[in-house]
Structures are given as structure tokens and as C-alpha cells.
Amino acid sequence: MKPVRLSLATRFNLWFSVVVILLALALFLIAYFLLYRAVQRSDREVVRAQAEIYRAWYAEGGLPALTSRFFEQESGGRETFFLRVLSPQRAALFASVPKNLGALDVSELQDIMPSEAFALVWKTLPADEKSRGWLIETERLPDGGWLQVGKTTEAQTSLLHQFRVVFAWVALVALLFGIAGGAWLTRRALTPVRQLIGTVENVIATGRMNERMPVPYTEDEIGRLTQLFNVMLEKNETLILRMREALDNVAHDLRTPLTRLRGVAELALQGEPNTLTYRDALLDAMEESDRVLTMLNTLMDISEAETGLMKLDLQPFRLDEVVRDAIELFEFVAQEKQITVSTALSPALVVRADRNRLRQVLVNLLDNAIKYSAPGGRVEISAEPRADEVVIRVSDTGTGIPPEEIPRIWERLYRGDKSRSQRGLGLGLSLVRAIINAHGGSIEVQSTVGKGSSFVIRLPKD
Amino acid sequence: MRQTATIERPIMRVLVVEDDKKIASFVARGLKEAGHSVDIADRGDDALDLGLHNHYEVAIVDLMLPGLDGLSLIERWRAQKVKTPVIILSAKRSVDDRIKGLQVGGDDYLTKPFAFSELLARIQALVRRSSQTVEPTTLSYADLTLDLLSREVRRAGKKIELQAREFALLEYLLRNAGRVISKTTILERVWDYNFDPKTNVIDVLVSRLRSKIDRDFDRKLIHTMRGFGYVLKLE
């Protein structure tokens, strides 16, 4: 198989992966944002609760009560919380930073003091080399001073960091699975297509039409395509076989008259030079070549009709008009032989067929009927509609066909004992049958020696 | 107004476009014998120039040509307002090919192999059509006259009764008096059949016509040309 630069499978897979990545990224962003919000809220709640405690202590006994409890009590939180109290003049009265939690640049907190009592302002100081990140609230105390309580955002940061790490791993694994799964899926889905390509390439390379594809069990589009492709191969194969056969037949059938043609010339040249002999031979040769031409045309017609290549101009028309045309052609011939040609047609019977071809069929059958009838005989063309077909019958009171000859009369170039003395190529009935079959109809003959024959055509009503 | 057709043979300039030397010389010789002057082109592009720079009464064009194929040649001529009537010669006999040939501007279509007499008849018919002479209402040859309006046929003043097909055949033979008419052509012109049913209907028709036209007269007009067909002429 010729490699495709960016195969359908690769493109499917690429698209699939891109979609997976984008989807994962979106999920991560949403989850991260939600987590961040949740962590921040819980941190604020902790700070808030602690600030409430400090405010209560301050309310009970002012700064001394607050500081003494801050240092003495277990719940004072001096190991965890940053605490600063400012006077109404914004002078720091008290400040404590947990000693094992590093530095805190309080200058950042100078300008965030709310003016009204009980108002709250939150400030987040991002982490840098010198200090950890801090979450700090500032509130106004009833005496006009300010209370600032803070907590490191360390827990929050490390949680989000872990989340990112975990997610990165999960995303990596998901992506790998996605790519592998995508590859597997597209491969699986495209296997029949690959087989199709392989088969087609094989057919093109070898010219053999007998290859078939394994049809998948599923009834999906690919299965349908495979089936249809097999049907197409089948049809092509039949067509090619038939055409080959037709070509062989035509070649075979032409050899005889061409041999005769050559024979005529050779015979003339063998004797003494003689203008009259030559003239005769040349005339023979011309007639013979005309015969070859007619034969070739008729054989081509038969082959085209048999292989389904004959173009039929299917139109509805009145059958009686065509029958009248055909009979008119033989008017004088029939008169001369004193043969009565009559019709028994259902009035205004319309058939859908190729008008010229059907006329050709009738002309051929009439020609036979008149040819093989003795003077005084009768020929009748009748037609009647049935449920889903039209039956046309051409009957004569002629010599009839012996039963053993009946199956062979349709063969190309077959001529019965009686017809050998008559003019003709032995192709008429083959052409008749081929044309009728090409119309989807059938033809058969009923015949009794000495009494006559009856050719019955059945044409489908569509 | 009644006009009598005379068997006139105007000298024509004919262009034969055919790359098969044998066929070209066969056609050219026949046309010269009939008194016409002939130019031969064996390439389509040469023929294009010849047709553009000379005036021809008729051109005979093969379809398979080196340089420029026949259909394109006709198309180019028609695009350049060359109105010369064109007879297409082709080995393809399908109806589609015929239609295609006539669509691009061909005026008639003749399938190979063909009889020269057939080609000559077609040329004559084409030139008659394109020169737009007044259609004669009476055709005559020797002492035979055929009136196309009253459908009356007389020989040496004696009235002859003909049936429709006999009349049609005689009319066609008279229009082409002196030229040999093939059976295929008769089937086509008299019955409008374009296939060869391999029957003896034409022989029968001709012998009937002959019995009415010739039997009672010493000078026979209808002759059988073995291998070619029939001709109406004075021996």
C-alpha cells in the first residue's frame, strides 16, 4: 500500500487527542478555580473566627487583656496567627508574627484600614523569597483603633500545588489512554477501508476482477460500502467476461466469410488471366464483403443486446402502428407469394419499448413466417395485454420446425436443414431474442412440422 | 409554376479530408470522373487552413485525423463562418456518433465502408439543398415524367398507376437518375428503415415497378447493377 502522508487514521487520532487535551484543560481550570475558592473561604473563616476571639478579649479589658491572653492561653494562637493592634493615630500598639513562620512586611498593611467601625478589609500578600504568603484581615475597633489578624496561605498554596501535580499526572495518563484508544478505535474503524484500498489496488495492478472483500458482520456504512463494492466487482466481472465471449464469437463468426472472400480472389487468380472471370470474382468479392459488413453489424447488435450495452430508447407507443409498418414492408412480397397477412390486435394497445428495435423484431419474424410459408398460406400477428405483460404472437401456416431443431434456432449462425436453401445469415432469430431479452421480455416458439410455427413474445408492462 | 428538373452536372470544388491514402484517392478519382475538381488534405489542421482560404461547394471529412480531429475541424470552420456543407465519413456507426457529428455542424453522415455511388448521391443532395434552388414539381427523364403534386406518372404520354411505395421508389430513382442506388439506401429513403432486414422486399418492389414502367417499352429504364444496386438510365 502506498503510504499516505497524513493518513485518515492519523488525522482522526490527532483531532481526538486535541479534543481530549482541551477537555482535560477545561476540567482542570474549573476544578482548580473551585478548589481555590473553597480553600480561600475556609482560610478566611479561620481568620475570621480568630479575629472574633481577639475582639472579644479586647472588648473585655483592652490591649492588656488581649496581649496577656494571646501569650498565655492555648487558644491564643500565637504560634499560628499574626496579630497587630493599631491606635486611632495608626501607630502600632502591638504586633506579633509567629516566630517560626518567617518575616512579614507590615508596611504593605498601612493603607488598607477601613474608616467605619466593624468594617472588614481582606488583603492577600503573595509569597516571595523572604516571606510566605499571608492572608490578612483588618477591622476597625470600637475605640477607633484597628485590629489586624493574619494567617499564612501556606496550606492553601501547598494544597493547590499538590492538586496541580496530581492533575498533571492524571492528565498525562488520560492523554496516553486517549491517544492509544483513539489510535485503536480509528484503526479498527478504518481496517475495512484499508482492505478496500488493498483490494482495489490489487484489482488495478493485476486486472483480475475475481477478487472479493471480506464483508464485515456489522450493518454500518463501511459494511454497506464493502457489499456494494463487491457487487460492483461482480457486475464488472460478468460484463467483461461477456464482452470477451462476445468478441471471441464475433471473431470466430467472421473467419468463415473472410475465408470465402479470400477464396474468391484466389480462385480467380489461379486460372488464365481473363477479364470476365476477374469481373465476376470482383463482383463476388464485393457482395461477400457486404455480407461481412452486415454480419458484423448484426453480430455487434446481438452482442450489445446480450451484454446489456444496447441503448434502448424506451418510449410508450401504439403497437398497431409498428405492426402496420412492419406488415407494409412485406405487402408486395406477400402478394407475390399469395400469402395473407392479418392482424388481431387489442385496440389502442400501448407498449413501452424501443420502437425501432421492436419493429426490427417484427420484421425479422414476419420475414421468416413469409419465407417458410407455401403459397396460399396465412400469417397472423396478434397481441393482447395480460396482467403485467403484453403477449405478441406471430403465427404462420408454414413448414414448421422439427422438435430437435427448436432449441438450436436461437443460436447464432445456426441454419436448419430447410433454411439452408434460403437467403439469410442465420442471425435473425438470435437478434430477435437478444433484443427481446434486453427489454426484459422473453420469446418462445411453438411449432408443428407441416402445420406451422408460432413465435410468442412476452414484453413486461413496466 | 412548374419547373422541370434537368439532369445538370455542375462542376464543383470538393475538399476531401481523409488520412487513409487509399480511401482518399478512391474518392478523389471518382469525383474527378464525375467532373469535379478535388483537393485532398490528409491532416485536420491543413484542412482547416484550406477551408478558411478557399471556397468549396462541399467538404468530405473523416473523423479520425492527425493534427486536428474531424469534429473539432468542423466546429472551428463553423465558428469561423465557413458554411461549406460537410459530409462526415466515419467507421463508427452508432447513433450517438451520428448525432454528435450533426450537432457540431456536419450536414450528413456516411458510415464506412460505403459505396462511391452513395457518396455521390449524398453530395448531390447536399448541394441541391444548400444552393436552395426552387424545388421542381415535375421530375422527368427520357420519356418518363412524374408529377409531384398530382402524383401522376406518364411514360410516352401513357398514364401509369403506381402504389405509394412504388411512387416513392421511382421518385428517388428519378431524383438520382444515372446514379446507382444501393438497397440499403432504398430501405432508408423509401421505408425509413435504417437497418438491413436481409429480405427480398426490395427486389420484389423493384420488379413490380419495372413491370409497370419498362415491360411495355423497348427502351428499358431501370437496371440492376450486380453488387451495387439499381439505376435509372437509358442504356
Residues 6 or more apart whose Cβ sits within 8 Å of residue A441? A389, A457, A458, A459, A460
Is A367's CB within 8 Å of B227's CB? no
Contact A405, A416 (CB under 8 A): yes
Degrees, nearest 5: CA angle B16-B24-B232: 85
Q: Are strands B37-41 and B13-17 parallel, antiparallel or unpaired?
A: parallel
Reading phi first (left if > 0) and then psi (alpha if -120 to 50, else beta), residue A348 is in: left
Task: Please state the rounded mean pLDDT for residues A145-162.
Answer: 85
Nearest CA to A438 out of A324, A350, A386, A360 is that of A360
Q: Give the pLDDT of residue A457.
A: 96
Q: Give the pLDDT of residue A419.
A: 59
Q: Which residues of A touch B199 (CB under 8 A)?
A: 329-330, 333, 363, 367
Contact A287/B at CB under 8 A: yes
Buried b (16+ CB within 10 A) or exposed e, A382-411: bbeeeeebbebbbbbbbbbbeeebbeebbe
Could you tell me the three cell numbers for B171? 421518385
ipTM more than 0.85? no
Q: Give the pLDDT of residue A5.
A: 57
Is B198's CB within 8 Å of A363's CB? no
Closest to A425 (Cβ–Cβ): which among B95, B165, B198? Answer: B198
Q: Give the pLDDT of residue B10.
A: 63
Could you tell me the three cell numbers for A357? 428495435
C-alpha distance across the termini of chain A, in Å: 47
Nearest CA to A155 out of A127, A128, A120 is that of A127
Contact B141, B221 (CB under 8 A): yes
Closest to B197 (Cβ–Cβ): which among A328, A331, A364? Answer: A364
Cα–Cα distances in angstroms (integers) from residue A157 to residues A4, A104, A162, B25, in the given order: 49, 17, 9, 104
Beta bridge partners of B59: B15, B86
Before B113, cis peptide (omega within 30)? yes
Q: Which residues of B touch A333 (CB under 8 A)?
A: 199-201, 204
Could you tell me the three cell numbers for A183? 489510535
Contact B33/A at CB under 8 A: no
Q: Identify the H or E element spanning A178.
A: helix A154-206
Contact A322, A392 (CB under 8 A): no
Our separate counts of H helices and E strands in chain B read: 8, 11
Residues 6 or more apart whose Cβ sits within 8 Å of residue B161? B153, B212
Beta bridge partners of B62: B89
Q: In what order do the strands lie in the sheet with A442-448?
A: A340-345, A378-385, A389-396, A452-460, A442-448
**Is residue A420 over pLDDT 70?**
no
Contact B99/A at CB under 8 A: no
Query: 403497437: which residue's cell?
Result: A319
Contact B162, B153 (CB under 8 A): yes
Helical packing angle, B116-131 and B183-190, nearest 10°:
40
Contact A394, A369 (CB under 8 A): yes
Q: Is the dihedral of CA A328, A330, A336, A340 positive or negative?
A: negative
The whole-chain average pLDDT of chain A stands at 84
Is A289's CB within 8 Å of B195's CB? no
Contact A337/B at CB under 8 A: no
Query: 431524383: which residue's cell?
Result: B175
Residue percentage of chain A with pLDDT more than 90: 19
Tens digits of per-residue pLDDT, A328-361?
A: 889 889 998 999 999 999 888 999 999 989 999 9
Query: 475465408: which residue's cell?
Result: A259
Query: 457482395: which residue's cell?
Result: A287
Distance CA B11, CA B1 (A): 27
Is B201's CB within 8 Å of A356's CB? no
3-state SS of A386-403? CCCEEEEEEEECCCCCCC
Tell me the three state secondary structure of residue B64: coil
Tell me the three state secondary structure of residue A211: coil
Tens digits of per-residue pLDDT, A65-119?
A: 888 888 887 777 778 888 888 888 888 888 888 877 777 777 777 777 777 666 7
Q: In what order do the strands lie in the sheet with B13-17?
A: B37-41, B13-17, B58-62, B86-90, B108-111
Q: Residue A291 burial by CB count (10 A; 0-12/13-18/19+): exposed, middle or buried? A: middle
Q: Which residues of A touch B196 (CB under 8 A)?
A: 294, 297
DSSP B91: S
The distance of A404 to chain B (nearest Cα, Å) reads: 26
Q: Which residues of B touch A329 (CB under 8 A)?
A: 191, 193, 197, 199, 201
Tens digits of per-residue pLDDT, A8-42?
A: 777 877 887 888 888 888 988 998 899 889 988 88
Distance CA B94, CA B104 (A): 16
Q: Which residues of B touch A331 (CB under 8 A)?
A: 165
Contact B73, B47 (CB under 8 A): yes
Closest to B200 (Cβ–Cβ): which among A328, A333, A364? Answer: A333
Q: Identify the H or E element spanning B5.
A: none
Residue percentage of chain A with pLDDT more than 70: 94
- Residue A256 CB coordination number (10 Å): 12
**Is residue A2 over pLDDT 90?**
no
Contact B211/A at CB under 8 A: no
Distance CA B46, CA B181 (A): 33
Fill in the amino acid letter for B48.
L
Q: Identify the H or E element spanning A235.
A: helix A221-270
Could you tell me the three cell numbers for A291? 455480407
The distance of B100 to chain A (nearest Cα, Å) reads: 16
Q: Is the dihedral of CA B6, B9, B10, B12 positive or negative?
A: positive
Contact A249, A299 (CB under 8 A): yes
Instruction: Give the number of residues written for chain B.
Output: 235
Could you tell me the three cell numbers for B168? 416513392
The distance of B227 to chain A (nearest Cα, Å) reads: 5
Contact B190, A413 (CB under 8 A): no
The distance of B36 to chain A (nearest Cα, Å) reads: 26
Reading chain B (235 residues) residue by residue, the pLDDT tens digits are 344 444 445 678 999 999 999 899 989 998 988 888 999 999 999 999 999 999 999 999 998 899 999 999 999 999 999 889 999 988 877 777 888 888 888 899 888 888 888 888 888 888 877 766 666 788 889 899 999 888 899 999 899 999 888 999 999 999 888 888 888 888 888 877 766 656 788 889 999 999 999 988 888 999 998 878 899 998 7
Contact B197/A at CB under 8 A: yes
Instruction: Identify the residue among A264, A283, A289, A332 best suited for mutation to test binding to B, counting B beta carbons within 10 A and taking the highest.
Output: A332
Q: Give the model's confidence band at A3: pLDDT under 50 very low, under 70 low, under 90 confident, else very high.
A: low
Cα–Cα distances in angstroms (integers) from residue A302 to residues A37, A340, A431, in the given order: 87, 31, 5
Nearest CA to A159 out of A38, A28, A45 is that of A38
Nearest CA to B12 out of B44, B60, B48 is that of B60
The distance of A235 to chain B (nearest Cα, Å) reads: 24
Q: In degrees rounded to 5, what are phi and psi of residue B21?
A: -60, -40
Instruction: Give the number of residues written for chain A.
Output: 462
Tell me the three state secondary structure of residue B206: helix
Could you tell me the three cell numbers for A94? 502591638
Distance CA B46, CA A277 (A): 43
Q: Which of residues 430-449 of A touch B (CB under 8 A)?
A: none
Q: Which residues of B touch A367 (CB under 8 A)?
A: 197-199
Query: 419498362: which residue's cell?
Result: B214
Contact A361, A430 (CB under 8 A): no
Q: Give the pLDDT of residue B132.
A: 61
Q: Give the pLDDT of residue B16.
A: 94
Chain B residue with minimum CA distance to A355: B193
